Structure 1
Amino acid sequence: MELWKINLLNYKNLSYFFFIGCFVVGALTASSYSWAASADKNKLPQIGTSGFSVLSVDKERLIGTAMMQQIRARGGIINDPVLIEYINHLGNSLVKNANDVNYSFEFFIVNNQELNAFAFFGGHIGIHSGLITTADTESELASVIAHEISHVTQRHLARRIEAQSRTQPLTLAGIVSGVLLTMINPAVGMAALSTSMAASQQFGINYTRGNEKEADRVGITLLAHSGFDPLGAPNFFNKMLEKYRYTSKPPAMLLTHPLPESRVSEARIRAQNFPKISVAPKLDFELAKARIKARYEGDPEYNINHFSSAISKGQYAFLAAARYGLALSYFEDKAYDKALAILNDLLQEDANNLFYIDALSDVLIALKQFKQAEKMLATVNWLMPNNQVAALNYANVLLEMGNLDASAQVLQDFLLVSPDSFIAYDLLTTVYRKQDKKALMHVSKAQVMALVGAYTQAIDELQTAMTYADDLPIISKRIKGRILQLQDQQEKLKRLN
């Protein structure tokens, strides 16, 4: 489904985000300053357990949620159910083998061709799309994700803030704001971090290198224990070094994750200590790469030539992935019949592949073949109830057909198990608007705003919904309850200070 192109509301200019950003930074600064005044400044951090003096796990969750809301509001996240499903399946296959997991992790992809990945409070991990397309194997991609998971489980950001607060408590605001900047623009963010730590810059650099070594150690162990090739880590490190050895501008990941050659050697030695693991190429990994290239990189004409050439030269580990990329490129070029022929053939080979089903749904909608799309997706949604690819595509096709009640029911059922789905609420807002259900439309719109942290505006939407719910007592009670929930979330943020 073309939900990655969905016309979402623009929340970038809401003043609330400035408040949240300043408030989170201010709350961290105030709490750490009072703590640091009485701390033993000569006390060294304990590996893997420190950081709790400045930030509890509960505070990390709250701050992580607020930061994630800011990132959503800025835009740039790929809201693509197929890729969301893939990256979270891969990430959670690693998390289930990790130690010291205090959160349910959320993995997301940033539409950026730079090589970068980052982790922050509360188990949030972002991967730039360029990193996925650059990796040659799923083990290489998994090695980066395992590294970022290790930063989270070892609480490196909290420990960094705690260590810095012992010498310069008032620079904490600069550190946190620098972290936020680094996620969006690594070069600017690292400059902000460097400025904020001017008086103890070498200490900060050394501490970062210590964190990186620990994340390498824990990450490679996690990689091996999860059934991936542990050599994926040094192989990807070496690839980055070779690619950028003679360039003046290193990739974003080398700015945020320093990579001296000694670190590559140490990673290779560590990986070789594990039994050799032979991992077969993964079709889903190749399909994800093809999807990113076809939909987020280059133009349709270039991509058609690229995938056609790859097919003729046998350059893909799976011919099916190149054909899939070609079908998506034809779709982008509005050559729907050519895309349809390829996708029908692919589905004959793999009937329940969600990559193919999603793409075929787009093609059938473009060709106005709604009945065929509805029949296919009804079956898939029955086989995989509340799977986000199946449910959201099915709801979208029902919406296109004008079957609004059925579309709303599918989305409501899906939101019971996935209450933070930005796409589902946005679709539901459209459904309610077409049904002229004003109260429910404003409620759904409020949920979208809440997911980007605009609590004040979300409450305003709910209060507007109340004016249309006078003769709907049950809905009215639910609206009042939701207002109280959002007010409580605001209060929890305030209590951080």
Structure 2
Amino acid sequence: METMRRSIVLCLCLLPALVFAQARLNNDKNELPEIGVVASNAISIDKELLVGEALMRQLRGRAPIINDPLLEEYIQDLGNRLVAQSDNAKFPFKFFPIGNNDINAFAFYGGHIGIHTGLIVEADNESELASVVAHEIAHVTQRHLARSIESRQKTSPLQLVSMLGGVLLAMADPEAGIAAISASQAAGAQASINYTRSNEKEADRVGIETLAHAGYDPSAAATFFGKLAAKYRHQSKPPAFLLTHPLPESRIADARARQAIYPRIQVGPSLSFHLIKARIQARYTGIRTYDSSYFQAMLDNAEHPVIKKAAQYGLALTLLDTEQPDKAKPIIDRLLQDDPENLFYLDTFTDIALAQKRHHEAVEVLTEHSLKQPRNRVLALNLANAMIKDGQHNEAVRIIKDYLLINPEHLLSYQLLSEAYGESRQMLEMHQAKAEVYALIAAYPRAIDELQTAYNFTADSTLEKQRIRARIEQMRDADTRLRNL
């Protein structure tokens, strides 16, 4: 969905994995602690969700989150598969991609987990990626963040939000992060977010258990950790993951010992994993070596059918992105012939069709598939985008609004909605949609400005004027709450 991607990828403030304090371990290392009791006096579930939402809105406005429906859907599906096998999941988890070549993943309040694109590229298979995600899920389900607040009873967790934003940014983007906090705050706050050995050991144990129960290879954690430790052992600047997740030999040995508890699971190559990895390499790394010649060589040397398909897909993307849609089209056509329901191929088919000005054909094909999978984010947003290009603005608005009913905080949807209204000269609705975009990135003053502009287009509609005034008050209240955190 390249047309959308170029207009919509936002840069946000990355919040890597956070605030951990000393955990209390049971004498039996294989027995898990009682969750909730330890942290109940520190921060309630409701308050944790509130803090997580506030941090997420700040993130959307300041860090390189990638608004790519395919990437979003892949990591959310993978994360949900793991959460389904996790104990003590107190709330729905939200997984989101960060456009950063560093190898890292991080968790924060309210079940939010960010996954760097660099982590996906470094992993050799889906089990390795899942091992890191399962580890981060464990930090949340074990309530390590909330438990760290227990030792800070005199400090409200809400008062930590503004400081945490800068400190956590420093872990992913040192220049931006250091500028966001004062020198006096930096030392104490940095000490608060370092992982403790007990936290890491507990997250390893719970993560490997989750990994095995979800049907992934439980040996993948030790394999991936060992590979990273060997690769970066003698480098002066290790990846971000190793800075926040140190990998001494004892920890890798513990992971190997723990995997022996579970039966070895032979997991074949995941087509979705290798397709998403090729997509990231082709579009989001910014590394020139991932060009058409790279994917052609990959295709020439591939033996497994899954790897061949991923190579073909990556080749089609690089050809499309270098303005060669005529060469990309036959590749995608062949892939679709073998797998007509594949969302990766349908997404790229849409981009090719729009690049070739075959707008109506894209609408017809996507409409047929959308009837089979209503409200699927990839199909719905591709179809809405194609309809906007085809001049079917009202239909595009209907589809986007329908999708927003199940995902009301989806930034890309509001941006497309604003575009559809703007193209059809519906100025009142366009400014209202833009206001929601700004609200989702915590830019409440700009959101209020958009609503005040929308007010000028209400004509004699008393109802619309009342709605806008009420929404402005909501925005002001939200801005006040954010400033008080």
Report the TM-score range of the alignment, normalised by the length of the smaller protein: 0.7 to 0.9
Query: Amino acid of the residue matched to residue 180 of structure 1?
Result: L
Matched, 1:358 2:355: no
Which of 374, 380, 384 is equivalent to 2:363? 374
Following superposition, the deviation at residue 200 of structure 1 comes to 11
Q: Which residue of 2 aligns with 1:430?
A: 419
Deviates more, 1:188-197 or 1:252-261: 188-197
Structure 1: where are the runs of 5+ without partners? 22-27, 29-41
Question: What pairs with 1:100-249 in structure 2 (closer than 5 Å)?
Answer: 100-163=88-151, 176-177=164-165, 179-182=167-170, 184-185=172-173, 208-249=196-237
Matched, 1:333 2:322: yes
**Partner Cα distance (1:437, 1:423) in 2:** 19
Same amino acid, percent of matched pairs:
45
Following superposition, the deviation at residue 460 of structure 1 comes to 2.9
**Partner Cα distance (1:442, 1:265) in 2:** 57
Where 1:417 maps in the other structure, the secondary structure is coil
Matched, 1:439 2:428: yes
Matched, 1:276 2:264: yes
Deviations 1:21-75 (A, max 9, x none): 9xxxxxx9xxxxxxxxxxxxx9979763333333222222122112111211114
Q: Which residue of 1 aligns with 2:30?
A: none
Question: What pairs with 1:301-340 in structure 2 (closer than 5 Å)?
Answer: 302-314=290-302, 317-340=306-329
**Partner Cα distance (2:80, 2:153) in 1:** 33
Q: Which residue of 1 aligns with 2:29?
A: none
Q: Which residue of 1 aligns with 2:35?
A: 48
Matched, 1:347 2:336: yes
**Partner Cα distance (1:366, 1:482) in 2:** 38
Verify the 8 A CA contact 1:165 1:172 in the aligned structure 2. Answer: no
Deviations 1:67-103 (A, max 9, x none): 1112111141111111111111111111122121122
Following superposition, the deviation at residue 167 of structure 1 comes to 11
Deviates more, 1:461-470 or 1:352-361: 461-470
Deviations 1:402-436 (A, max 9, x none): 11111111111111122111111111111111222
Verify the 8 A CA contact 2:10 2:64 in the aligned structure 1. Answer: no
Which of 352, 376, 386 is equivalent to 2:375? 386
Aligned length: 468
- Closer, same or farther: CA 315–160 of 1 in aligned 2, 3 Å: farther
Q: Which residue of 1 aligns with 2:403?
A: 414
Where 1:118 maps in the other structure, the secondary structure is strand
- Closer, same or farther: CA 487–306 of 1 in aligned 2, 3 Å: same
Verify the 8 A CA contact 1:147 1:220 in the aligned structure 2. Answer: yes
Deviations 1:212-252 (A, max 9, x none): 11111111111111111111111110110111122111110
**Partner Cα distance (1:331, 1:392) in 2:** 19
- Closer, same or farther: CA 196–461 of 1 in aligned 2, 3 Å: closer
Richer in helix (by share): 1
Alignment root-mean-square deviation, CA: 3.3
Q: Which residue of 2 aligns with 1:35?
A: none
Matched, 1:297 2:296: no
Verify the 8 A CA contact 1:301 1:333 in the aligned structure 2. Answer: no
- Closer, same or farther: CA 211–189 of 1 in aligned 2, 3 Å: farther
**Partner Cα distance (1:407, 1:168) in 2:** 45
Following superposition, the deviation at residue 173 of structure 1 comes to 7.6
Q: Which residue of 2 aligns with 1:2?
A: 2
Q: Which residue of 2 aligns with 1:25?
A: none
Where 1:107 maps in the other structure, the secondary structure is strand
Q: Which residue of 2 aligns with 1:266?
A: 254
Structure 2: where are the runs of 5+ without partners? 26-32
Deviations 1:136-176 (A, max 9, x none): 1101101111111111111112222333568999x968973
- Closer, same or farther: CA 110–71 of 1 in aligned 2, 3 Å: same
Verify the 8 A CA contact 2:350 2:362 in the aligned structure 1. Answer: yes
Where 2:124 maps in the other structure, the secondary structure is coil
Query: Amino acid of the residue matched to residue 100 of structure 2?
Result: N
Q: Which residue of 1 aligns with 2:82?
A: 94
Deviates more, 1:321-330 or 1:67-76: 67-76
Where 1:326 maps in the other structure, the secondary structure is helix
